[in-house]
Amino acid sequence: MTSLNDLYTKQGQSAWIDNLNRPSILGGGLAGLVDRGIRGVTSNPTIFEKAMTGSDAYDEQFARLIADDTVEAAFWAMAIDDVSAACDILAGVHSSSGGADGFVSLEVSPSLAGNTEGTIEAARSLHSRVDKANLMVKIPATLEGVPAVRTMISEGRNINVTLIFSLGRYAEVIEAYLSGLEILSKAGGDLSQVHSVASFFVSRVDTEVDRRLSESSADKALFGKAAVAQAKLAYALFQEKFSGARWQALADAGAHPQRPLWASTSTKNPAYPDLLYVDTLIGPSTVNTMPDATVEAFLDHGTVDRTIDQGVDEARASLEALAGAGVDMDDVSVVLERQGVASFLDSWNKLLGSLEEKAAATAGRSR
């Protein structure tokens, strides 16, 4: 047993790995992480860009694919193969948890972040092509993405709602999930087969808030407080929304709560503890998706204590103090969402550009 196993058995939090690449799949690295307590996998355009441009593990398949199709189609074929293989590796976790865990996430194209109908069609396509019970399709929590989430849940699909940066948007995501379940229930669907997580990005909040504080004469005690404080209040909102008569009616029909997922949990500021966004956010019915280095750090010196609902009043006071210092958290979330979408789109474009270059080189060698 490891501290990651204890995280789940003692505190009800699932540790997922925020990385997916073919060498880890083929070489047993991912399976080894599952043995050590990892219970899910997340991916995104940045992760795939690093995996496919930093390894020759895709070259043979890529050469075959581009002989008959476009570079973008080749990317999706390779990504779907990786995700399908990862789903198979996590199948045991999915089965032993009664279908509640062991998920692998695959994101729709970041070019669709502002396109509701395009997102819906893309999500349907990915669910159809992967066709695994433990797939979660990732949809960004943009204004256009939230209605797509509602539609996907109403169709009984597993969804990872990503790029959440504010309590207000998180409330909209929860509403999309609940109303989607209600539509599914009225249509006679099986609510017990639907699972979802709401991915609240954490460390980036401190990065932006600290930047703003550094431009003022704000109290130094406010630095590094915003992200954890907001996440703790997000968990309080989760507890509020997944209780009461409305939720109980859905739960009685077999529905599962949409678990909060803490993403972007590596520490960006070296002055902060390396597990700042892990040790402080432990609690039941949550997920923490960590990059490799953070996983190893937690295995080495993580603390398995319930902390997510500790200091909630202090968290609220921290956000009030930040407002008093002139930090507009609504504006912070707008900036971070815009940056997040742009970052993934940049990785997407770099990936396609790199694959285009590889395709050209492959064509040159074949002549």
Nearest CA-CA partner of 127 in 35, 195, 217, 56: 195
pLDDT at position 366, please? Answer: 54
Region 121-131 average pLDDT:
98
Region 223-229 average pLDDT:
97
pLDDT at position 219, please? Answer: 87
Q: Is residue 117 part of a domain?
A: yes
pLDDT at position 364, please? Answer: 63
pLDDT tens sequence across 152-162: 999 999 999 99
pLDDT at position 11, please? Answer: 98
Q: Is residue 367 part of a domain?
A: no
pLDDT at position 361, please? Answer: 83
Catalytic site positions: 138
Determine the Cα–Cα distance for residues 123 and 92; give it in Å rounded to an integer.
25
Q: With 80 as the cut, is the pLDDT of residue 115 above it?
A: yes
Q: Is residue 69 part of a domain?
A: yes
Q: Give me the amino acid identity at 31.
A: A
Q: Is residue 126 part of a domain?
A: yes
pLDDT tens sequence across 295-352: 999 999 999 999 999 999 999 999 999 999 999 999 999 999 999 999 999 999 999 9
pLDDT at position 365, please? Answer: 63
pLDDT tens sequence across 170-211: 999 999 999 999 999 999 999 999 999 999 999 999 999 999
Q: Is residue 242 part of a domain?
A: yes
Count of structural domains within the chain: 1
Region 14-23 average pLDDT:
97
DSSP 107-147: EPPGGGTT-HHHHHHHHHHHHHHH--TTEEEEEE-STTHHH
pLDDT tens sequence across 328-337: 999 999 999 9
Mean pLDDT over each residue of the chain, to the nearest integer: 96
Q: With 80 as the cut, is the pLDDT of residue 362 above it?
A: no
* Sign of the C-alpha dihedral computed for residues 179, 183, 184 and 185 taken in this order: positive
pLDDT at position 239, please? Answer: 98
pLDDT tens sequence across 52-110: 988 899 999 999 999 999 999 999 999 999 999 999 999 999 999 999 999 999 999 99
> Which residue range(s) make up the domain with 169?
3-360
Q: Is residue 52 part of a domain?
A: yes
Report residue 166's pLDDT band, with 50, 70 and 90 as the boundaries: very high
Task: List Cβ neighbours of 332 (8 Å cut-off, separation of 6 or more).
Answer: 165, 166, 205, 208, 209, 212, 226
pLDDT at position 358, please? Answer: 86
Q: Is residue 249 part of a domain?
A: yes
Determine the Cα–Cα distance for residues 28 and 117; give it in Å rounded to an integer.
38
Q: Is residue 254 part of a domain?
A: yes
Cβ-based neighbour number of residue 131 at 10 Å: 11
pLDDT tens sequence across 237-273: 999 999 999 999 999 999 999 999 999 999 999 999 9
Q: Tell me, what CATH number does 160's domain have?
A: 3.20.20.70
Report residue 217's pLDDT band, with 50, 70 and 90 as the boundaries: confident
pLDDT tens sequence across 285-295: 999 999 999 99
pLDDT at position 218, please? Answer: 82
pLDDT at position 54, please? Answer: 87
